[in-house]
Structure 1
Amino acid sequence: MAVSISVVILLGIVVFVLIRGGSVRLLPALACAGFGFFLASTGAAPLITGAINAVTGWISSI
């Protein structure tokens, strides 16, 4: 749980910086957020969560 909250905060900061820097406009960022929100309710969510947990576990073992 602590890892997922950290990732959410990190990705939120990245999106904020990209929007403020002009690299990403607000509407495409909202579209990506909506896509992620709806993707989380599909059958792909456990696979994505497992992959993220594997990567973070691998990084923490270094």
Structure 2
Amino acid sequence: MALSISAVVLFGILTVFLLRNRAVSLGAATAIFLFGFFVASTGAQKTIYNLCQAIASTLTHLTA
């Protein structure tokens, strides 16, 4: 059985977990969120997206 989960959902869950365990402060989480939001609107977005796709593809092939 294959499970597909969005990277947004995955990182959202991770962020909530880190905030609840006080591993990161609300200010730091907000700064990281805004950094990611603004990076997404730059030319680096395509490179980051391609890197994430390559990693996901590699992980898929490792488990198959």
TM surpasses 0.5 = yes
Identical counterparts, % of pairs: 39
Query: What is aligned with 2:60?
Result: 60
TM-score by length of 1: 0.88
> What RMSD in Å do the two structures reach over aligned CA positions?
1.2
Q: Which has the larger radius of gyration?
A: 2
Query: What is aligned with 1:23?
Result: 23
Q: Which runs of 4+ in 1 moved over 6 A?
A: none
Higher RCO, Cα 8 Å, sep 6+: 1
How many Å separate the matches in 2 of 1:32 and 1:15? 10
> What's the CA shift string for 1:12-46, capped at 9, x where partnerless?
01110100101101011001000000000000000
Q: Which runs of 5+ in 2 are unaligned?
A: none
